[in-house]
Structure 1
């Protein structure tokens, strides 16, 4: 986007939110630059190249980064097409997985979807390279059976390239791709769903994660020459054991283990395993109680392991020295860092995001590690050449608010006088075991551009604040976390009422939408509106209606019966369908017809119940359905949905709630 467009959008955002037409106030949603996203980041085996997908609206492009330069340079691939049935189409979409090769070429693995976005059961592999006129598509290969897939390329030359495909939950297949010969040949089938992947040598032996239908996950080694596989490590039948990184000099693996769901609770253990070295070692520095560390990658020497750690709403970057089990920090700006990562020489490349920085590639320069006489020096350079990063996005600050059981950290948009903004949204994250992170949030950017203050708290149940804070809601959904939300709302709403300002709008997605509805039902006087994106109406109802993986998670995080006791939930006021008679705030309810996590029937039942109680659609009740999945609705990917949310929040406090005698 050019500077003129940025300036226009910025001035529009500061214009009045309400205009007069015919004596009535019309809500005007300010224009905003297109919201970017960058995902599916991957590195070449030698660390010289990176590739990712970038999407703005419905347009998805392929990017390649040259990491050999002091400042990584970016090139957008565009213009190529591949054969698809009777026509042609772009080589990438949101379902694609790119992989840069050491020679600069790119592979793109694409699991095809049908007209409704569901897996079509087959896929395509495309080889592309940059040409003077855009992308040159060298070859493409059709894969007859594939629900998901990705490519892996070995270190060294010539590179061995394999394609890993998941055919169903019971079987995966490994293929060998010859770019020189133009062939894609099946090598072997492996039971279970395969994921991840590190090379143990120059191109013969591959280590992968194997998940079986009973949700057990183990690490396996695949010998491509012998066409055989064997389990290389497993802690116990009840644990999910995964391979994260490999030091190929010593064939040492960095692994994680924990019971299913440990990644939500921060209880993953990090281990190091070497062939012939016996049991996995769990270094003390990598497994300190109360820390949520995730291993990322080894350096060139294998002496150091890069680790990311969640510390509240921000990430920390740490270096573990294997020789003396020492942890040292690498300075990074406030924000979030995460996998994947590449460490070559003194340069670390990884994903970075902050409230005003859409996800991008960042570089940290570390020095002094080999000498060991001082902590890593730091030079930090998020790539700022991409137009989405250069845009003038709103920033946010971390604020500590008083809660009923202790301080609650919140991410706040709106400046130091956010409490005095005319409009204010209290945003609740999903999960329940999740958290808001100090990263780019497109919906928050749109709200902030419209002059709306946003407060995003990490109430009890949020990850990154220790076991006590997190475990408070396990088995008690809508208990301590609801207490925190209502307490925060009361502290915000009452002073605003005294100043003649409307109360906050409570907004949430998924579990956060369920919690928002409970808050609006239990304390109706505090809110000027409620936005529920893909909610469920009770834990028991979700357990009854959802797919098996969701049922398993509900069962682990509620009661042993999965929260199926409807009467108990009703008595506790945690069944939205029974509690919604008390709801007086205007409500915006949105759900996807293809929601694979929370069935759309939950929102339809709530809408039907509110109409029975006397609500009038269009006057205090807005109901939206979209032909989309869970994530698209919860994150308000659609510009239409995002604009509807902003318009609703601007109008909240002025919308009369119409009810009939049935109320």
Structure 2
């Protein structure tokens, strides 16, 4: 029995809509290749815990006081309450639901589009005659329009919003008869948005913006699915976290939208492990994942299509906090170990930002700007992290963070490499020094000796 059914909708109006003129999106790159086999091997490898631990211990005293947010740094009562923040794949536009200042029970919610690719960021409110429900979802497109999903009874209604003079234009796309749906991240092509509807024994993937005739079901996947990570620049290969209909471990799979949703395994680390994909960079092939294959839930990384084992860095294993990657530096073709990765760190004091590279094995921590929406941000190709934020003083701002260079352990401790009086180095000074990225095939595992 079909769980979702299209109700109305027309794409003819989409072609004639006249939204605010915006820059043309960049041409998408070539799609990543995917064969029919699992893209990562059934193997697990921990990185050298001793080396990572020494670097982490040396760096910790200097960063703890500055990185963790102060309990007093809380937005004022009259500041806009931040909501889920969604960016286009190229970081040119963003969208969120926000509300005018006021008591929480009387806030009037409305969509807001941010333009981030100009000399200065600016926000354009997109309110309609009636306020939006706080559980509505929004997603920006590359042409500056914003898709909104509204739940009305047991239906999901979709529209495109755009600025028009002093008001807001709305283009109705149609509705899907479904109680629950979740928008996936905007497609890298900039014009399509997909949504996922879960049923008891299958998940339905819907194209809700960018189609020819309104919302349409494009794939049906057996089992329960969640997540949603794009694997290529063309918006064809989508990764989902899938559980078999009868239960069992969660495994990431690749769904080929160019072949009617053909599904192939993506992560197969251990037979009984939960292997979820969190982020993927199409340029370098770097994958960020979460798995309990090491015995408990850990953050790991691998390379798309590689036969090398998945790594689980010790420096990303922090006590009493949750660490979640949210952005990968683009443009690092064939250099996955050099990609800067931005991580959201959530703890008792609040949320702050981490920066890490696979080759460096150090986690750098920074205080987030006041009003940052945790998990929102994007990298430029030259390793500058952009963090959108909004507070009572700045309704639309972007903080810039340059990715730090990884410091050798000897420099962290002020050592020159030798002991006092020209003797043998002490145990503290004898930590191995990484002067260049170590090829993964030669990477030390389980405390093995480091190659020269």
Shorter-chain TM-score: which interval? 0.5 to 0.7
Correspondence 1:476-515 to 2 at 5 A: none
Shift of 1:223: 0.1
1:442-491 per-residue CA deviation (whole Å, 9 max, x = no partner) reads xxxxxxxxxxxxxxxxxxxxxxxxxxxxxxxxxxxxxxxxxxxxxxxxxx
Conservation of the 8 A alpha-carbon contact between 1:111 and 1:149: no
- Structure 2 counterpart of 1:100: 140
Shift of 1:104: 0.8
Q: 1:138 to 1:224 in 2, by over 3 A?
A: same
Shift of 1:145: 2.7
- Structure 2 counterpart of 1:348: 385
Q: Distance in 1 between matches of 2:320 and 2:86?
A: 30
Unaligned runs of 5+ in 2: 1-75, 333-338, 409-452
- Of residues 295, 298, 314, the one that matches 1:284 is 314
Shift of 1:162: 4.0
- Structure 2 counterpart of 1:174: 205
Matched, 1:45 2:75: no
Q: Distance in 2 between matches of 1:74 and 1:300?
A: 25
- Structure 2 counterpart of 1:196: 227
1:52-97 per-residue CA deviation (whole Å, 9 max, x = no partner) reads 01146252100111112344211110126xxxxxxxx66x422221
- Structure 1 counterpart of 2:49: none
The 3-state SS of whatever aligns with 2:316 is helix
- TM-score under structure 2 length normalisation: 0.61
- TM-score under structure 1 length normalisation: 0.43
Q: 1:359 to 1:217 in 2, by over 3 A?
A: farther
Q: 1:170 to 1:317 in 2, by over 3 A?
A: same
Shift of 1:151: 4.3
Correspondence 1:320-359 to 2 at 5 A: 320-332=356-368, 338-345=374-381, 347-350=384-387
Q: Distance in 2 between matches of 1:315 and 1:152?
A: 22
Shift of 1:175: 2.4
The 3-state SS of whatever aligns with 1:285 is helix
The 3-state SS of whatever aligns with 2:311 is coil
Q: Distance in 1 between matches of 2:209 and 2:133?
A: 24
Conservation of the 8 A alpha-carbon contact between 1:270 and 1:287: no
Matched, 1:222 2:259: no
1:191-212 per-residue CA deviation (whole Å, 9 max, x = no partner) reads 2343332211122111122245
Q: Distance in 1 between matches of 2:159 and 2:347?
A: 40
The 3-state SS of whatever aligns with 1:281 is strand
Q: Distance in 2 between matches of 1:178 and 1:337?
A: 25
- Of residues 162, 181, 192, the one that matches 1:161 is 192
Shift of 1:160: 5.4
- Of residues 245, 255, 271, the one that matches 2:279 is 245
Shift of 1:271: 2.9
Q: Distance in 2 between matches of 1:197 and 1:360?
A: 30
Which moved further from structure 2: 268-277 or 200-209? 268-277
Shift of 1:323: 2.6
Shift of 1:257: 2.1
The 3-state SS of whatever aligns with 2:315 is helix
Q: Distance in 2 between matches of 1:58 and 1:309?
A: 29
Q: Distance in 1 between matches of 2:395 and 2:253?
A: 32
- Of residues 184, 194, 214, the one that matches 2:215 is 184
Correspondence 1:541-560 to 2 at 5 A: none
Conservation of the 8 A alpha-carbon contact between 1:347 and 1:364: no
Q: Distance in 1 between matches of 2:350 and 2:229?
A: 28
Q: 1:269 to 1:360 in 2, by over 3 A?
A: farther
Q: Distance in 2 between matches of 1:276 and 1:180?
A: 34
The 3-state SS of whatever aligns with 1:181 is coil
Shift of 1:102: 1.4
Unaligned runs of 5+ in 1: 1-31, 81-88, 115-119, 375-663
Matched, 1:54 2:84: no
- Structure 1 counterpart of 2:399: 364
Conservation of the 8 A alpha-carbon contact between 2:370 and 2:389: no
More strand by share: 1
Q: 1:127 to 1:310 in 2, by over 3 A?
A: closer
Q: Distance in 1 between matches of 2:275 and 2:395?
A: 29
Q: Distance in 2 between matches of 1:335 and 1:52?
A: 14
Larger Rg: 1
Q: Distance in 1 between matches of 2:360 and 2:197?
A: 40
Shift of 1:163: 2.0
Conservation of the 8 A alpha-carbon contact between 2:78 and 2:392: no
More helix by share: 1
The 3-state SS of whatever aligns with 1:183 is coil
Which one scores higher on RCO, CA 8 angstroms, separation ≥ 6?
A: 2
Q: 1:169 to 1:341 in 2, by over 3 A?
A: farther
Q: 1:362 to 1:308 in 2, by over 3 A?
A: farther
Correspondence 1:11-410 to 2 at 5 A: 36-55=80-99, 57-79=106-128, 92-112=132-152, 114=153, 120=154, 122-156=155-189, 159=190, 161-177=192-208, 179=210, 181-201=212-232, 202-211=234-243, 214=247, 216-227=249-260, 228-236=262-270, 239-258=273-292, 267-287=297-317, 292-302=322-332, 303-332=339-368, 338-345=374-381, 347-350=384-387, 363-367=398-402, 369=404
Shift of 1:98: 0.6
